[in-house]
Structure 1
Amino acid sequence: MTGWRSQWHLVLLNSLTCGLEICVAAGITYVPPLLLEAGVEEQYMTMVLGIGPVLGLLFIPLIGSASDHCNSSYGRRRPFIWLLSLGVLLALFIIPHADVLAANLSWGSTSRNQALQVGLLILGVGLLDFCGQVCFTPLEALLSDLYRERDDCGQAFAMFSFMVSLGGCIGYLLPALDWSGGLLSFYLGGQAECLFSLLILIFVVSVLVTMKVSEEPSSTLELVPSEPGRFFPRSCCYLFQCKLRALKSGPLMCLLRTCWSMTPAIYRSYCHVPRVMRQLCLAQLCSWMGVMSFMLFYTDFVGEGLYEGVPSAAPGTILRQRYDEGIRMGSLGLFLQCATSTFFSLVMSRLVHLFGSRVVYLSSMVCFTISALVICLSKSVLLVTAMSALTGFAYATLQTLPYTLTCHYHKEKEVYMQNSKTKKGHTNGFTITRDSVCLTLDNGPGDLNHKSDISNGHVSYSGDEPEYYPPLHQNGAALGLESEDFGKRGVGLDFAILDSTFLLSQVFPTLFMGMIVQFTESVTAYIASSAIFSAIGIYFATHIIFDQKDLRS
């Protein structure tokens, strides 16, 4: 995949990725002031911001697996992209107009008006965070479907990382601009309305561009015989119609069955994964926890730690001015991080080609850990800002290499995802494996070789050695066989689990970092925890399977 046409096609294909990141970054950045203005206390505000990641943890594996098995005529991934994009658009409309919608729905009651406004804001924030984060999963799977070769897949996800970083840069800059003085703001109603109207425009254009150039091949519909001589297409629409009929026949039972079936599906998605994916996800989780702990609390660390400001001080005081100046400098550091990530995304394929995936992954996390340690120990604003910019290397790596490795695993499933693993059973000197015997309930000649015969579901070995009669059980349990069928496992499910590690890395810091800082009485604990998590991530990254040679080690 070479030439400017291919690169331009990748840019257009990832335009929705950029648009999503712009909307999520700008929207989530602008939401906390709106929640505080609506009367939400600060301690509950962080819980509101955690609604989206928690919902994502529950539903991302289901959505990823459903996209793997979807047989819609519109493709496997695009129906889910359309649906989640509608959720993002709805959230972008609700958030800036929550006060107007609440006033129209409260019928003049002041208390009901405030409660409705808070409820609508929470709904909009949760919907934006959930749909925005989950929509990345079918987009990643779409890239994997269109670019199957390892080199092409690497370039595709390098462009994906570039567009995410570019979207983050734009998304962090848009709320910092003053939109209230323009003519557009006068007609739309204010700063928030103008900003979110611009976000809606950007998002709609990005959705249309990506859907136009994706050209996802239509899946062949499987015909399911229902009656002799009649066939029905087994598509998502057909299955949906069947579910509607079942719902009409027994709504309560259908609902209970659906809820009951979701629980084991979620459990299997997280627990029954191939060994290569389990090791990759563990390293990804620890690495993302280090990066997200840094990104979520870096501005507060600069404002309170470096500039020694106080966020609770009265506006206009010296302590408050120091804190506000530190917040601006911290925002500059995060912007430089996105800019650095954008640069490394562009050269990621070349770095992997020169040094290999293992060296690039480990060096990026080592660089991040060293940068975090320097930030903890230094009091120089210039040095801290430079180190924060350097953390963009790890950010770009975590958005690129794990997904290219997952594509490589699925391309060579027979190597990296074996269908079954066999435990050898040793009894009376015999070694029994799957290939050593053939079990059948038919008692007839020629079923086994001349050294064994079968009777009543037992295998008897004849010869000079002592006889051994292993009982026949279903699933081969008596032979010590553990069957794990990964042959039909789709790449969308594994992308979903990778994205779940990103969401989980946000949940832990938002829940526990406040208590850690309160216990240590220092905001330096934010960055120190980030360095510790990244160091643990380096350890687990050494166990990632990067190529076939790692399988033998």
Structure 2
Amino acid sequence: MTDLLHGSMWKFLLVNTLPCGLEACMSAVTVYIPPLLLQAGMEKRYMTMVLALAPVLGMIFIPMIGSASDSHQSRFGRRRPFIWMLSLGILLGLQIMPQARRLAVLMSPQHHHWLEAAMQATAVSLLNFCGQACLTLLVALLSDLFPEQEENSRAFSVYSMMVSLGGCLGFLLPAVDWRNIPVAAYLGGQEAFIYALLTVIFLSCLLTTAFIPEEAGAAGGREAAVDRRLKSGSSGCCPHWLQLQPRSVWVALNQCVSALRSTVSRVYAACVQVPTVMWRLFVADLCNWMALMSVIFFFADFMGEGLYQGVPSAEPESEERKQFDEGVRMGSLTLFLQFMVSVLCSVLMDGLVARLGPRVVFFSSGALLVVTTAVMTVSHSVVTVTVMAALTGYTVCVLHVLPYTLLCQYHSNKQVYFTTSNSISYLLRHNSKPEAARAHSAGHSEGEKPSEDVPDGAPHVSLLVAAADGQRGMCYDMAILESAYLISEVLPALCLGSVVQLANSVRAYMASACCFSVLAFLFSTRIIYSHTDLNR
């Protein structure tokens, strides 16, 4: 038994090596994205819009990529061909970002500024989109390889640990001054050396996927159900490039328009049926993540310009540019400390929730986020801001645990928490047989779990189908919470650039985070923590 456990652990580590390397790349890139875009001459309002582009593309295309991998069959398995193709986009982005200035000067010596900005924006969007899509496929690969409940839980525990280690490594690399190393000087400076190092790390981790024995039959029962869904709804799915037959562009465009129309209809049906308890949890989760993203995304720029008084667009060897670079390194170190605090809190979280209860833990994390963002808004001390930002790691840990804990609590007693008139009224309006609505209501009142063709963990394409059919699965509701994370990347990125330009101060980043955290704290008082809260 011990030998079997050790063998499984090595397999867990092998499968989760690529998520570790991928998270290291994305964390390091998060630190450098605002400085590189600003150094390219991009205005703050456009810089923040570039940050929003990848999450928007992810919400549109990642479900399509996921459904394409579900139906794909090859000698390399279902997931790995897509992972390898997306990895090419990640590697391309890692090469373009540090060398965009040189490439722009070579291609257009007289007007290289706009070209450099365009290349940086393209590389940032490509890397972020491919990275997020790759992580989604890696999670699906874990579910395929370890379908049993016990080993599945252990596999995702190892996944969480490896992703945390990758994040720590990614935030630590920019915090170190590499300029005095001969290799860094040869490659072109701090950023070029770090991106070269990230490329080596990512390639090394990517090679491990060649040794993963992807089992085609690991999700056998789920596969058949998914195929039935896909075949029955083929008219509502955009044809991906692996399935396209030679046909006119006009026909393909018509199919895509039809698919988008069908998707909007299914999303509307899904939203109508979301119970009140889920809406309250979703809104509080969204506001918390928007406050944290306002800090994480723009913290390096805030430190470099706000506290170190640097100028990102100054000449590379000028004093203003050196001050800005020093602030970026300090910001990266602070985010590393935030990640470490989150990891340490995750070890203690089970005990805190058991001793204090989810309500107190959620309230304390919200109150701490309000205090820390308020202090960061007004403080001019580097030490104080560093400590405050590191303490937000507690809130990050809580958001990774408590919303999903509450979701499991809701699903453990569906007849109490999911009793709502929304889904019944929707069925009465859209179903020609009123008996279906009465049967749905009876099923909930008697505590019966609706039968599901696709169990938890099925691909994105079936989630909306299941929701529209009146079936609530754990995977679907987890997807709702995950969408809060994606939206939290989009909204601050779209708005904060203009806010900072109007305020003419990077402290508007932290002020906005404080406003979001106040909203989050207020909405957290409306979350249903136990069945007694349903009467409120």
TM-score by length of 2: 0.70
* CA separation of 1:395 and 1:377: change in aligned 2, threshold 3 A: same
Cα distance in 2 for partners of 1:146, 1:319 equals 52
* CA separation of 1:327 and 1:367: change in aligned 2, threshold 3 A: same
Question: Deviation string for 1:143-172 (max 9, x for gaps)?
Answer: 566778999877765654444443233222
Q: Report the CA distance between 1:337 and its aligned residue.
A: 0.9
* CA separation of 1:158 and 1:365: change in aligned 2, threshold 3 A: farther
Contact 2:374 2:511 in 1 (8 A): yes
* CA separation of 1:500 and 1:328: change in aligned 2, threshold 3 A: same
Q: Report the CA distance between 1:92 and its aligned residue.
A: 2.1
- Name 2:424's counterpart in structure 1: 422
Helix, strand or coil for the counterpart of 2:246?
helix
- Name 1:166's counterpart in structure 2: 165
Task: Say if 2:487 is the partner of 1:487.
Answer: no
Cα distance in 2 for partners of 1:145, 1:248 equals 32
In structure 2, what residue type is equivalent to 1:288? W
Cα distance in 1 for partners of 2:60, 2:413 equals 29
- Name 1:341's counterpart in structure 2: 342
In structure 2, what residue type is equivalent to 1:47? M
Contact 1:405 1:546 in 2 (8 A): yes
Comparing 34-43 with 288-297, greater Cα deviation is found at 34-43
How many residues align? The count is: 487
Helix, strand or coil for the counterpart of 1:345?
helix
- Name 2:50's counterpart in structure 1: 48
* CA separation of 1:399 and 1:213: change in aligned 2, threshold 3 A: farther
Q: Report the CA distance between 1:346 and its aligned residue.
A: 3.6
Comparing 30-39 with 412-421, greater Cα deviation is found at 412-421
- Name 2:198's counterpart in structure 1: 199
Q: Which of 258, 261, 270 pairs up with 1:260?
A: 258
Question: Deviation string for 1:217-252 (max 9, x for gaps)?
Answer: 153664999xxxxxxx99x9xx99998786424432
- Name 2:509's counterpart in structure 1: 526
* CA separation of 1:156 and 1:197: change in aligned 2, threshold 3 A: same
Helix, strand or coil for the counterpart of 1:248?
coil
Question: Deviation string for 1:450-496 (max 9, x for gaps)?
Answer: xxxxxxxxxxxxxxxxxxxxxxxxxxxxxxxxx942438682x6555
Q: Report the CA distance between 1:59 and its aligned residue.
A: 2.7
Q: Provide structure 2 residue ranges, at least 5 long, that are not aligned to the other structure.
A: 429-433, 440-466
Question: Deviation string for 1:119-138 (max 9, x for gaps)?
Answer: 44332221001112333333
Q: Report the CA distance between 1:286 and its aligned residue.
A: 0.6
Query: Over aligned residue pairs, what C-alpha RMSD do you find?
Result: 5.0
Q: Provide structure 1 residue ranges, at least 5 long, that are not aligned to the other structure.
A: 226-232, 427-431, 438-482
Task: Say if 2:177 is the partner of 1:175.
Answer: no
Contact 1:53 1:507 in 2 (8 A): yes
Contact 1:293 1:526 in 2 (8 A): yes
* CA separation of 1:520 and 1:404: change in aligned 2, threshold 3 A: same
* CA separation of 1:128 and 1:299: change in aligned 2, threshold 3 A: closer
Comparing 119-128 with 265-274, greater Cα deviation is found at 265-274
* CA separation of 1:418 and 1:143: change in aligned 2, threshold 3 A: farther
- Name 1:90's counterpart in structure 2: 92
- Name 1:538's counterpart in structure 2: 521
Q: Report the CA distance between 1:366 and its aligned residue.
A: 2.6
Helix, strand or coil for the counterpart of 1:135?
helix
* CA separation of 1:27 and 1:378: change in aligned 2, threshold 3 A: closer
Contact 1:166 1:342 in 2 (8 A): no
Contact 1:161 1:345 in 2 (8 A): no
Cα distance in 2 for partners of 1:189, 1:320 equals 16
Q: Report the CA distance between 1:318 and its aligned residue.
A: 8.7
Contact 1:150 1:408 in 2 (8 A): no
- Name 1:295's counterpart in structure 2: 296
In structure 1, what residue type is equivalent to 2:492? P
Contact 2:38 2:44 in 1 (8 A): yes
- Name 2:29's counterpart in structure 1: 27
Percent identity for Structure 1 against Structure 2: 43
Report matched runs for 1:331-410 at 5 Å: 331-352=332-353, 354-376=355-377, 378=379, 380-403=381-404
Question: Deviation string for 1:61-119 (max 9, x for gaps)?
Answer: 4445666x546476665554444333212322333455676688x5xx64587766554
Cα distance in 2 for partners of 1:178, 1:359 equals 41
Report matched runs for 1:194-233 at 5 Å: 194-209=193-208, 212=211, 217-219=218-220, 222=224
Cα distance in 1 for partners of 2:343, 2:278 equals 27
Cα distance in 2 for partners of 1:53, 1:111 equals 34
Q: Report the CA distance between 1:19 and its aligned residue.
A: 1.5
Cα distance in 1 for partners of 2:78, 2:95 equals 28
Contact 1:284 1:398 in 2 (8 A): yes
Comparing 145-154 with 365-374, greater Cα deviation is found at 145-154
In structure 2, what residue type is equivalent to 1:262? L
Contact 1:62 1:265 in 2 (8 A): no
* CA separation of 1:382 and 1:113: change in aligned 2, threshold 3 A: closer
Q: Report the CA distance between 1:406 and its aligned residue.
A: 5.6
Q: Report the CA distance between 1:290 and its aligned residue.
A: 0.9
Contact 1:162 1:345 in 2 (8 A): no
* CA separation of 1:268 and 1:405: change in aligned 2, threshold 3 A: farther
Task: Say if 2:281 is the partner of 1:283.
Answer: no
Q: Report the CA distance between 1:405 and its aligned residue.
A: 5.5
Cα distance in 1 for partners of 2:336, 2:120 equals 27
Q: Report the CA distance between 1:422 and its aligned residue.
A: 2.9
Question: Deviation string for 1:262-308 (max 9, x for gaps)?
Answer: 2441563476243254443322211101111122344454556556x
In structure 1, what residue type is equivalent to 2:16? N
Helix, strand or coil for the counterpart of 1:50?
helix
Report matched runs for 1:417-456 at 5 Å: 421-423=423-425
Helix, strand or coil for the counterpart of 1:59?
helix
- Name 2:457's counterpart in structure 1: none
In structure 2, what residue type is equivalent to 1:531? C
In structure 2, what residue type is equivalent to 1:56? G
Q: Report the CA distance between 1:347 and its aligned residue.
A: 3.6
* Bigger fraction of residues in helix: 2
Cα distance in 2 for partners of 1:425, 1:81 equals 39
Task: Say if 2:135 is the partner of 1:133.
Answer: no
Helix, strand or coil for the counterpart of 2:471?
coil
TM-score by length of 1: 0.69
Question: Deviation string for 1:482-541 (max 9, x for gaps)?
Answer: x942438682x6555444322322333233334444555655443233223123223333
In structure 2, what residue type is equivalent to 1:23? C
* CA separation of 1:531 and 1:55: change in aligned 2, threshold 3 A: same
